[in-house]
Amino acid sequence: MNQREQFSTRLGFILATAGSAIGLGAIWKFPYVAGQNGGGAFLFIFIVFTFILALPLMMAEFAIGRTGGEDAVTSFKKIAPNTKWHWVAILGMITCFILLSFYSVIGGWVITYLGKAMTGSLNGLHANEYASVFEQTIANPWISLGVQLIFILITILVVAKGVQGGIEKAAKIMMPALAILFIILVIRALTLDGAGKGLAFLFQPDFSKLTSKAVLDAMGQSFFTLSIGVSVMITYSSYLPRTENLPRSAVSIVSMNIMIVLLAGLAIFPAVFSFGLAPDAGPVLLFHVLPTIFSQLPLGMFFFTAFLIVFLFAALTSAFSMLEIIVSVLSKGDSMKRRKYAWIIGIAIFIFGIPSSLSYGVLSDITIFDKSFFDLADYAVSNILMPLGALMMAIFVSWKMKKSVLFEQLSSGSNISRGIFTSWYYLLRYVAPVLIFAVMLDVLGVWDK
Ligand code: PHE
């Protein structure tokens, strides 16, 4: 029953929210979407969206969560009684359901590589053999479903127990370890022959090549990687004491996340160009490139194994938050129900995710709207559901909540100035809805010629 005390410390909260944010989005998704959208200009726009949209929206979700102080649906009902606004939280639950169904596929790929690296079956391969070994492995339906199930079972077990303590302790070691291993990886990548081309790809924006799709993908990516628009941040901040400084927490989480995004870009693109791989290979990009870079390091397989362990941890802490927001609404603080719903929902997500899992194998020829099941689920979440959730959050906070309540939330424990508060407020009231609406138009194909 002691749900409400989970994150009574500042560090606990920061670790849980950073854990939700930092995950496959920064490490796996960013490089592949940036690679498909031409690199530098995409990175630039992604950073702009992160600061003008995702960061203010994170603060908005924090303000809702702490004002409501309950699970996401109840928080909306408390703030706006007798309205339909709690449907924003229900939309978030549906989004997290679909999200976890394909997120677990990639989580499974990490487990696959971990198994291979630990059993030594990657030793002695040539650089160009890694990609085909990987492709063959994920095409096997039993392996692909098996590892996805393992990923979901770990998520269920942790969420069923409702234990954050153990995870917080582990996170204190894992997060710095992630940064250190990334730095080693980046140093190796930057010293490869031809690394400069990768740097130019990432840091020399060519705005003339920028498509409207890239702009809108960058926006979706900024929401995805910071877990915005799906009520995760509302749920976590509902556990916070009044004294917590919301703007400062949001800024530290966003900075950590950008750092990981940059490290991922700095590790991946120099290697992609040095090895002559295609930057627009799509979701498999990271998995082609990583073992190849590690194989060029002394003690490569050791470092690769260590990297995969922390990477898996980062993916799991994001997955916990997706299941957590659904289970917290359904169980309302009852620990028996928590266990029951964690299992029911977790297994339902696995079943729903089966077609995505098989998209890289037996179902690879089946497409809907020209997309595989996997790509369709990813597209629906990143380009439709998350922006829609973010749009509604921006409108809810700036049009439905009282300005004085918001100011109190953002200024308690902090010394935010009136000017910054006002800019934030108007950004959410006017700029965010208009910009996000552009994403929705893109989804309808309005920008397509
Ligand atoms: N932010 C997570 C990541 O980058 C993904 C996520 C999205 C998690 C939405 C929870 C909710 O991996």
The pLDDT tens digits of the residues spanning 61-97 come to 999 999 998 889 999 999 999 999 999 999 999 999 9
Q: Please report the pLDDT score of residue 366 as a whole number.
A: 77
What does the angle CA 390 – CA 395 – CA 400 come to, to the nearest 5 degrees?
A: 135
Residue in 324, 338, 258 with CA at minimum distance from that of residue 51: 258
Rounded to whole angstroms, how far apart are CA atoms 135 and 360?
A: 8
Given 3.40.50.2000, 3.40.50.12280, 3.30.365.10, 1.20.1740.10, which CATH number is that of 2-443?
Answer: 1.20.1740.10
pLDDT band at 213 (very low <50, low <70, confident <90, very high): confident
pLDDT band at 447 (very low <50, low <70, confident <90, very high): low
Tell me how crowded residue 127 is: count the other CB atoms within 10 A of its CB. 17
Radius of gyration over every alpha carbon of the chain, rounded to an integer in angstroms: 21
With a cut of 60, say whether residue 296 has pLDDT above it: yes
Residue 230 CA to ligand 1 center (angstroms) comes to 9
What does the pLDDT average to over 233-262?
A: 89
Q: Please report the pLDDT score of residue 33 as a whole number.
A: 93
The pLDDT tens digits of the residues spanning 43-53 come to 999 999 999 99
Cβ-in-10-Å burial (0-12, 13-18, 19+) of 365 comes to exposed
With a cut of 60, say whether residue 329 has pLDDT above it: yes
With a cut of 90, say whether residue 265 has pLDDT above it: yes
Q: Please report the pLDDT score of residue 226 as a whole number.
A: 97
Q: Which residue has the tokens 């939280």?
A: 89
Residues across the chain? 449
With a cut of 80, say whether residue 369 has pLDDT above it: no
With a cut of 80, say whether residue 168 has pLDDT above it: no
With a cut of 70, say whether residue 34 has pLDDT above it: yes
235 lines ligand 1 (CB under 6 A): no
What does the pLDDT average to over 370-388?
A: 89
Stronger pLDDT, 9 or 221, i.e. the higher one: 221
Pocket test for ligand 1, best of 22, 263, 321, 326 (most atoms within 8 A of CB): 321
144 lines ligand 1 (CB under 6 A): no
253 lines ligand 1 (CB under 6 A): no
Model's pTM, two decimal places? 0.93
The pLDDT tens digits of the residues spanning 126-148 come to 767 888 888 888 888 999 999 99
Pocket test for ligand 1, best of 225, 228, 263 (most atoms within 8 A of CB): 225
Contact 325, 331 (CB under 8 A): no
Q: Please report the pLDDT score of residue 348 as a whole number.
A: 98
pLDDT band at 176 (very low <50, low <70, confident <90, very high): confident
C-alpha distances (whole Å) from 212 to each of 47, 296, 431 are 16, 38, 18
Atom of ligand 1 nearest to the CA of 226: 1
The pLDDT tens digits of the residues spanning 15-30 come to 888 889 999 999 999 9
Percent of the chain with pLDDT over 90: 50
What does the pLDDT average to over 419-439?
A: 91
